[in-house]
Amino acid sequence: MFQFAHKEYLYLLLIIPIIILLLIISRYLRKKAIEKFGNSQTLSQLMLTASNNRPIIKSIIIIFAITSLIIAIAGPQIGSKLQDVKRKGVELIIALDVSNSMMATDIKPNRLEHSKRAISKLLDKLHNDKIGLIVFAGDAYVQLPMTTDYAAAKMFLSTINTKMISNQGTAIGSAIDLATKSFTSETDKNKALIIITDGENHEDDAIAKAAEAAEKGIIVHTIGMGLPKGAPIPIGRPGSSNFRTDRTGQVVITKLDETLLQQIASAGHGKYVRANNSKTGLKKLFEEINNMNKTEIESSVYSEYDEQFQYFIGFSLLLLFFDFLILSRKNKYFRNVNLFEKD
């Protein structure tokens, strides 16, 4: 497990592009200044010790040295000891619809992106809870197994898109079935499933699957992502004016199926919340989940970390030493040596 003890210092890396830009400008201005004195080829004969490449090499070395030093300041660490800890929390799985209809823009910027942003905010509020991610369209797949590593969850969340599953559709029942199998078997309580979808189920009996999950102690909540009036499904880049059409050439309007989602939540002993442009409903459901009786959840975490900053400082000092050895001008003893000169 690799981490930084002081991640905020990594923002200093933003000065690297600025330094590069300043070096490029400086080199350009120097070239223009030299050209004012005459032809560059003639001047090169007069400035025998001048070098075009050495300043560039020295600049590159300095940039890498600064980068290495900033990384050292951020405190790189590698986990060296795993420890099993028990914490009180709940197990939560979020099943996210990634079918094409989730690209509709009745919820800004679109249904899927709005959902991802809300999930990311939810991850910031979790502490001792386990979370898993499932994506579904015509099929359902585990995107992230149950974990307490919220940073990893955010990373996996960022990769979710509508191209992940080629089989289009909205198999909510398959997602519920997969989620039921993805929870740990340690206890049959304190488990919750949140389904985020527009509710246009075309594949299976999601209500029956929700009832089966409830019998196993899994509370099934649903979030309706979309507006009842519906919206067309864009094709291509975001903001495109091209929309999906049916066989007759009519633009397809995807509408929120609130009735189905309410029935699924009812069968799963959970709650239904409709999202809009100002909220998704995850906050409200999180409050419900947070009030559930929490049990001990065992997980492995790194309890000790080895500092690695010294290697980056050493590398930075080594680069500065090389920079000191390399002169900005040619060595006067070797400037006339030409290994490739023909007799």
Please provide the DSSP assignment of 280-326 as one string. Answer: -SHHHHHHHHHTSPPEEEEEEEEEEEEE-HHHHHHHHHHHHHHHHHS
Residue 126 within any structural domain of the chain: yes
| 125-136: pLDDT as tens digits | 887 788 999 999
Query: 106 with 234, same domain?
Result: yes
pLDDT of residue 51: 64
Query: 200 with 69, same domain?
Result: no
Q: Is the pLDDT of residue 79 over 90?
A: no
Compute the distance between CA of residue 134 and CA of residue 111 in angstroms, rounded to an integer. 16
Q: Is the pLDDT of residue 68 over 80?
A: yes
- Least-confidence region, from 140-149, 207-216, 298-307: 298-307
Confidence of residue 337 (pLDDT cuts 50, 70, 90): very low
Residue 225 within any structural domain of the chain: yes
User: Which residue bears the tokens 């709940």?
Assistant: 90
Q: Is the pLDDT of residue 43 over 60?
A: no
pLDDT of residue 301: 54
Where in the sequence is the domain holding 23, given as residue range(s)?
2-75+308-325
Query: 54 with 196, same domain?
Result: no
Compute the distance between CA of residue 69 and CA of residue 73 in angstroms, rounded to an integer. 6
Amino acid (one-letter) located at 98: V
- Residue of 131 and 55 predicted with greater confidence: 131
Cβ atoms < 10 Å from Cβ of 270: 24
What would you measure as the largest C-alpha separation in the chain, in angstroms? 93
Is pTM beyond 0.75 here? no
Residue 17 within any structural domain of the chain: yes
| 196-252: pLDDT as tens digits | 998 876 666 899 999 999 999 899 999 999 888 888 888 866 656 678 887 788 888
- Least-confidence region, from 32-46, 236-250, 259-273: 32-46
Confidence of residue 187 (pLDDT cuts 50, 70, 90): low
Residue 320 within any structural domain of the chain: yes
Query: 192 with 228, same domain?
Result: yes
And the tokens for 71?
């990384």
- Least-confidence region, from 175-179, 180-184, 265-269: 180-184
- Least-confidence region, from 97-101, 289-293, 302-306, 317-321: 302-306
Compute the distance between CA of residue 127 and CA of residue 141 in angstroms, rounded to an integer. 25
Residue 334 within any structural domain of the chain: no
Q: Structural domain tally of the chain?
A: 2
Average pLDDT of the chain to the nearest whole number: 81
